[in-house]
Amino acid sequence: MNKRSFWRGAFWLSIGALVSKLIGAVYRIFLPRILGDYGVGLFQMAYPLYALLLAVSVNGIPTALSKETAEKLSQGEMDAANHLAAWAEVFLAGMGLIMAAMLEVLAPWVARSVFHEPAATLSIRALAPALVFVASEAGLRGYFQGYQEMVPTALSQILEQISRVAVMFPLALLWLSRGTLWAAAGATLGAPAGAMVGLLFLLIARLKKGVIVLKRPVPWRGLGKLIQMAMPMSLSGLLFPLMFLADSMFVPEQLMKNGLSLHQATALFGRLSGEAMPLINLTMVVGAALAVSLVPAIAQAMTVNDRDLAARRVNVALRLIWLFALPMSGGLIVMARPLTRILYGGTGAAHALQVLALGSGVLAIQQVLGSSLQASGYGWIPVKNLIYGTLVKFAMTWWLTPLPSLGIRGAALGTVTASVITAWLNWKDWSHIVHPLESPWKAAAWPLVGTVVMAMGIETWIGYFPVSHGIWPTIGAIVVGIVIYFVLIAALGELKVLKGLRE
């Protein structure tokens, strides 16, 4: 693995995630027009639970596998790396099968007792088979990522999303005549269909590198070490969707204290999770790609005890996040109403989107620093910090959501506050335990200045060409904002951070 493989991998993952999310935006835009806010609420209720079970079954071991593979390759132990990876892939497929069966059987109880919405049963059952395919995908992605080969992961994400969209709309439209419950379940079936296609692509790519052979003896010690290493990583992946599971469990219930019906509260939850959050996820593309790429890259640096190199990679990653996430956050804040009107046919999600946009860059930084600590061998520290953040999220969501002046914005504000606290704790712990890092606020200074100037330019454009007049003035405002920001950032010399990608 040469010194540029990390950044090349991060680039391809960013491209794959961006294209995948843009394709996913198709269903985020048009699905509310088919299902309505209530149908989107049912559709979204299944996903936090799905993410929770997925974190238990697959999130930890693939990350641990990529770390272990990178370490073995840096020591020249290629056969041992392949031997462990083959058995880990089988183990993950088995875990996914067990989780899928449990979710299918328990779906009625989960819908009734956890979400207090029996109508979500069909959507939960439709989503369950995806666990088998996604678990198997995760093992193969962990193998490729250990080799710093991110192209298979990127391409599988794109194919998975294309297949998902291609299945969900025909089924949603076909079953709409049966009612909203069936239409939401039909849309949900796109997830297992897409995951199956992604798995087939990864399997073909894996077989091109050689037949998967389960050689004897079974590497019990290696698998045990992998599970031990994966435990904190799984919990880190578990606690983040746990925040959103908390939203799906008691945000509708808390909103009902304002006098809303269950149907109205579910619809508001659909605006938060199904309309606002997907746009926030676009701002986290770079951060998510860097988080995945950092694990094997930092593990390799730590294996040869080069902590300075590991810290340099983290510093450049943080500067890249500020460089790209801040203008996207600022753009979402300024353009929240016209964007939601164009994309969803209404502005109901605009206020929640503006609140979430305040912390979207910090969410990405939290993710990157957590992965960096885990790759350095301090896996339980991000778990501890996420627990603190999760407790804050629960408390603030419970307290703020029933307030008539906030409502659904209270849940969004809880997410932002929790991400700020967790990111700060991760940064402090890395600096004290592994290697001192640059101040994250110093790195954010000029991108923040550029974002403010960009927002002023967009507001000026809107004064002459009101975005309420249609889609073209809105597109013009976005283009004007992009040009202003990058011209200013280039003039300030901030693009020199890209030179750090060579290290």
Task: Label residues 129-164 b or e (16+ Cβ within 10 Å = b).
Answer: bbbbbbbbbbbbbbbbbbbbbbebbbbbbbbbbbbb
The one-letter amino acid code at 436 reads P
Distance CA(155)–CA(141), nearest Å, equals 11
* Torsion over CA: 337, 340, 341, 343 (sign): positive
Output the pLDDT for position 441: 79
Strongest mean pLDDT among 54-68, 224-238, 261-275, 360-374: 360-374
Please, are residues 446 and 389 in contact by the beta-carbon 8 Å criterion? no
Mean pLDDT of 72-81: 75
Q: Which residue has the higher pLDDT, 369 or 347?
A: 369
How far is C-alpha 317 from the geometric centre of its chain's CA atoms?
17
pLDDT of residue 503 exceeding 60: no
* Torsion over CA: 19, 40, 272, 483 (sign): positive
Mean pLDDT of 177-204: 89
Q: What is the pLDDT of residues 404-448, one digit of tens each?
A: 888 888 888 988 998 899 999 999 998 999 888 888 778 888 899
Query: How many CA atoms lie within 13 Å of 385's alpha carbon, on the beta-carbon side?
Result: 25
pLDDT of residue 246 exceeding 80: no
Average predicted confidence (pLDDT) for the chain: 81
Distance CA(341)–CA(437), nearest Å, equals 41
Output the pLDDT for position 253: 81
* Coil, helix or strand at residue 149: coil
pLDDT of residue 186 exceeding 90: no
Backbone angles phi, psi at 218, to 5 degrees: -65, 130
pLDDT of residue 469 exceeding 80: no
User: DSSP per residue over 244-272, as a string?
Assistant: HHHHHHHHHHHHGGGT--HHHHHHHHHHI
Mean pLDDT of 3-22: 68
Largest CA distance in the chain: 72
**Entry pTM:** 0.71
How far is C-alpha 395 from the geometric centre of its chain's CA atoms?
23
Mean pLDDT of 161-182: 87
Output the pLDDT for position 226: 75
Give the rounded percent of residues in the chain with a pLDDT score beyond 70: 88
The residue behind tokens 């790396």 is 81
3-state helix, strand, coil in the chain (%, to 5): 85, 0, 15
Backbone angles phi, psi at 296, to 5 degrees: -65, -35
Token couple for 71: 């370490």
Token couple for 291: 């988080």
Please, are residues 75 and 33 in contact by the beta-carbon 8 Å criterion? no
Instruction: Count CB atoms within 10 A of the CB of residue 442.
Output: 10
pLDDT of residue 452 exceeding 90: yes
The least confident of 137-151, 230-244, 414-428 is 230-244
Output the pLDDT for position 12: 74
Output the pLDDT for position 38: 81
Q: What is the pLDDT of residues 260-316, one digit of tens each?
A: 887 788 778 878 877 788 788 777 777 777 766 677 778 777 877 888 888 888 888
Strongest mean pLDDT among 25-34, 164-173, 451-460: 451-460
pLDDT of residue 1 exceeding 50: no
Q: Which residue has the higher pLDDT, 141 or 247?
A: 141
Question: pLDDT band at residue 53, thresholds of 50, 70 and 90?
Answer: low
20: Cβ contacts below 8 Å, ≥ 6 apart: 157, 158, 160, 161
The one-letter amino acid code at 389 reads G
Q: What is the pLDDT of residues 352-389, one digit of tens each?
A: 899 999 888 888 888 888 888 877 878 789 888 988 88
